[in-house]
């Protein structure tokens, strides 16, 4: 298979083609639906990689690796723009995805965003008439965490239940107030409430957010097997290995 087409797609998207080559390539896109479909697939892959890697230098490192593989394993024929048989495009897209998955697995660590799934809170289902609880609930569930933090702090003056403390800690974590969040979660971890293991998981997520992978793994290993979110614990442990 001729891998030069990945490079052509990339050169076009990066505006690195000579004017004549660019015009010829655009003409082929108009005349060959299969080529246009392959090009769109490649653009989607590029967007996925950009979102996954985040930083431009990491994405460029991936592209450099891909081009290195190209130079080592493929000869690049002339002329630059060559029509391929339609079935090549599906193979090309598949190989591009495989290259992407390979380098993602080799060069990236799990991220906070991969595992951050804050649960919804329903304080008012308990029949509690406290207006601040309803406001805090609505703010938290709408991901208005800064507003929720302020409300939780007012509520905690009178209600220091583990439930309120836990969701207060989650809101702090979401707002990147990591030291404050860890104080809350550590206090819960030392207790015996039903939020004990959730607090340990949240502490692990805080360490993951800080890219402290060693501390994150140590915390995960503290969580018992019967924890309700153990699938996520096991998945993150596997990603950290």
For the chain, domain boundaries: 4-107, 113-240
HEC string for 104-170: HHHHCCCCHHHHCCCCCCCHHHHCCCCHHHHHHHHHHHCCCHHHHHHHHHHHHCCCCCHHHHHHHHH
- Which of 103, 74, 100 has its CA nearest to residue 5? 74
Classify 75 as helix, strand or coil: coil
pLDDT of residue 40: 83
Specify the DSSP element, H or E, that contains 180: helix 178-189
pLDDT of residue 123: 85
* More confident site: 89 or 172: 172
pLDDT of residue 211: 93
Fold classification of 113-240 is 1.25.40
- Which of 112, 109, 139 has its CA nearest to residue 201? 112
Tokens of 178: 């990591």
On whether the CB atoms of residues 203 and 189 are closer than 8 A, the answer is yes
pLDDT of residue 20: 87
Half-sphere exposure of 238 (CA within 13 A, CB side): 8
* More confident site: 7 or 92: 7
- Note the pLDDT tens digit of each residue in 40-55: 877 777 676 666 555 5
Between CA 189 and CA 187 the distance in angstroms is 5
- Note the pLDDT tens digit of each residue in 179-231: 999 999 999 999 999 999 999 999 999 999 999 999 999 999 999 999 988 99
On whether the CB atoms of residues 123 and 136 are closer than 8 A, the answer is yes
- Note the pLDDT tens digit of each residue in 146-191: 999 999 999 999 999 999 999 999 999 999 999 999 999 999 999 9
pLDDT of residue 29: 83
| First-last CA distance in the chain | 34
Give the CA diameter of the chain: 77
Helices (H) and strands (E) in the chain, counts: 13, 0
Between CA 152 and CA 183 the distance in angstroms is 15
């Amino acid at each position: 298979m001729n891998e030069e087409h990945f490079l052509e797609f990339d050169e076009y998207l990066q505006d690195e083609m000579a004017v004549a080559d660019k015009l010829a390539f655009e003409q082929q896109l108009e005349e060959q639906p299969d080529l246009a479909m392959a090009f769109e697939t490649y653009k989607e892959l590029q967007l996925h990689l950009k979102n996954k890697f985040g930083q431009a230098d990491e994405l460029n490192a991936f592209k450099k690796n891909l081009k290195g593989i190209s130079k080592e394993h493929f000869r690049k024929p002339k002329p630059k723009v060559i029509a391929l048989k339609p079935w090549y495009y599906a193979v090309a897209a598949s190989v591009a995805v495989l290259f992407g998955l390979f380098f993602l697995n080799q060069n990236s660590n799990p991220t906070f965003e991969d595992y951050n799934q804050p649960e919804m809170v329903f304080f008012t289902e308990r029949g509690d008439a406290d207006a601040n609880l309803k406001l805090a609930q609505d703010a938290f569930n709408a991901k208005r965490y800064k507003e929720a933090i302020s409300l939780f702090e007012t509520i905690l003056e009178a209600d220091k239940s583990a439930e309120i403390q836990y969701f207060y800690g989650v809101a702090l974590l979401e707002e990147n107030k990591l030291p404050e969040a860890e104080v809350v979660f550590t206090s819960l971890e030392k207790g015996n409430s039903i939020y004990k293991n959730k607090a340990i998981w949240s502490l692990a997520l805080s360490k993951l957010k800080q890219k402290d992978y060693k501390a994150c793994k140590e915390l995960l290993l503290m969580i018992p097997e019967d924890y309700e979110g153990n699938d996520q614990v096991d998945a993150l442990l596997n990603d950290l290995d």
